A and B are shown apart, each in its own frame.
Chain A
């Protein structure tokens, strides 16, 4: 046992799941010929923990169950990872993933999320909107007297959008403690290192000063991720988990690189990447 109340073997299994999600993400981005590998790889451990670590309550055979926990990917470009995760979770068969980013595919698998895809709550793709939407859902849960939680994954570059901080203030005003934001702090945006584009630090201080229960973890350490996600909600504060990650994690030639934000790997590069992700 460890701090996450999981067996070591369970932690190892989640790590393997995350690796499988990374492989799948790269394969479907490669097959589509376009997509966003860097930000898919950085968030893979977080999504593996949420969907397969017993955190999110969901029933893929009843994706609109009113009592389900909600998951939103506000950094909507990471659909390579999102759709790989949803198919692995059983929302749709694996073979449909070959329709990723293709017109007239068997199910709707657009470049960015849309609720026509089973398991997706709302469209995303313009950064900065997901925290507000997640907060609206959290308010709806309270009105309905339901105890589900709302989880939203934000990108670090996305935190440069002003609307994030509007939503941060709103969630504190309404004491929305059923809202959990996870920042995939991979430190690289599209055309720049996030710090050079516009520095977010000191990031914990920012969230704390807005009134959020704040913690910072290693976003590639499964035990730390699980321990953070298993925490009971604060009596009244919303919670943010700043997960320090590496863009392109797991593939040496992508890690920390600016050039792998929105570029699909070639046949050769895919093969090289998959070898590293064995």
Chain B
């Protein structure tokens, strides 16, 4: 199991793909890890300069010629500067463009709120035709990138800046639309995504008197509703955990599904509490803004206590 940032898994995986793949970046290829692809395959790499809107539409044009176009930048700018382009040239046109946003969430740290993308899951989940993914470790990012090549249609893949502990080895098989149970318990289920999978596992280690289930939701759209129902029935209490604003992300996706399913259980969201964070290390920000393992431990106790 390989420790490393999800962006590193992405960059490494790009090198393994076939020649239908083209990669675009907007002047941050060293940070997004597309630079190696550019060095290895200069003809299929387009560093567009700092122009995310132009990059996204250029990717759409390339896709209409049969290419699988990966358009990459920091999540903040990739989505923030090209929402309209994503709607018209990607989603409505259903072009085969894979948007890859790195440095998502407040875990990006010291660069502060202008670099901390916390609304991207809300943005992208709301777009028809769009698939939304967030791998949890290096290996899953590596495999998800490969899976995108044979997937037809627009995708947003959300990646992180910081190193995370390896959860998977090559025997794992990532599938779009599938969640994965990392630890099976019976008292409460945590549906976590991205870096919060690691944080949730840390929290669970601190609890000895409860048997907690941890599920990695790396596919936010489509959502693995079969697995969610199964685990909610087995556990009877739910926490969702995401490094994203509490509006429009994983918590809302799970909650709306549970409401429509008629499953009523104690429920708690771990997410940024509809506020901008600030500068600081990822650890400090997680502590101050409610995302740390300590907060998850408190949430587990409080949520289990509400069970009848």
Contact = CB atoms under 8 A, between A and B. Distances in A.
Q: Do A and B come from the same complex?
A: yes
Interface of A: 66, 114-115, 121-126, 128-129, 132-141, 143-144, 162-163, 166-167, 169-170, 173-174
Interface stretch (B5-13, B62-70, B174-182, B271-279): B62-70
A158 to B, nearest CB: 13
Nearest to B69: A136
B51 A169 contact: yes
Max chain B C-beta neighbours (<10 A), residue from A136, A140, A143: A136
A136 B44 CA distance: 12
B40 to A, nearest CB: 15
Interface string B32-54: 00000000000110101101011
B225 interface: no
Interface string B57-90: 1111111111101000000000000001101110
A129 B64 contact: no
Contact of A136 (B43, B51, B60): B60
A170 B53 CA distance: 12
B93 interface: yes
A134 B22 CA distance: 16
A170 B67 contact: no
A66 B22 CA distance: 18
Contacts of A66: 65-66
Is the contact region of chain B dominated by helix, strand, or loop, or is it mixed?
A: helix
Contacts of B85: 126, 129, 132, 163
Contacts of A174: 46
20 contacts: A66-B65, A114-B92, A114-B93, A122-B61, A123-B89, A126-B84, A128-B53, A129-B84, A129-B88, A132-B53, A132-B54, A136-B60, A136-B61, A136-B62, A136-B69, A139-B61, A139-B62, A143-B67, A144-B66, A167-B58
Contacts of A132: 53-58, 60-61, 85, 89
Contacts, number: 109
Interface of B: 22, 43-44, 46, 48-49, 51, 53-67, 69, 84-85, 87-89, 92-95
Given A123-B92, A129-B88, 12 more contacts: A115-B93, A123-B88, A132-B55, A134-B61, A136-B62, A137-B61, A137-B64, A138-B61, A163-B85, A166-B53, A166-B54, A173-B48
Contacts of B94: 115
A25 to B, nearest CB: 23
Contacts of B53: 128-129, 132, 162-163, 166
A129 B67 CA distance: 19
Contacts of A124: 88
Given A123-B88, A129-B88, A137 B57 contact: no
Identify which of B48, B58, B63 gathers the most chain A CB atoms within 10 Å of its CB.
B58
Nearest to A167: B54
Nearest to A161: B53
B16 to A, nearest CB: 19
Contacts of B43: 143
A123 B129 CA distance: 14
Given A136-B58, A137-B61, A173 B49 contact: yes
B49 A170 contact: yes
Contacts of B61: 122, 132-140
Contacts of A173: 48-49
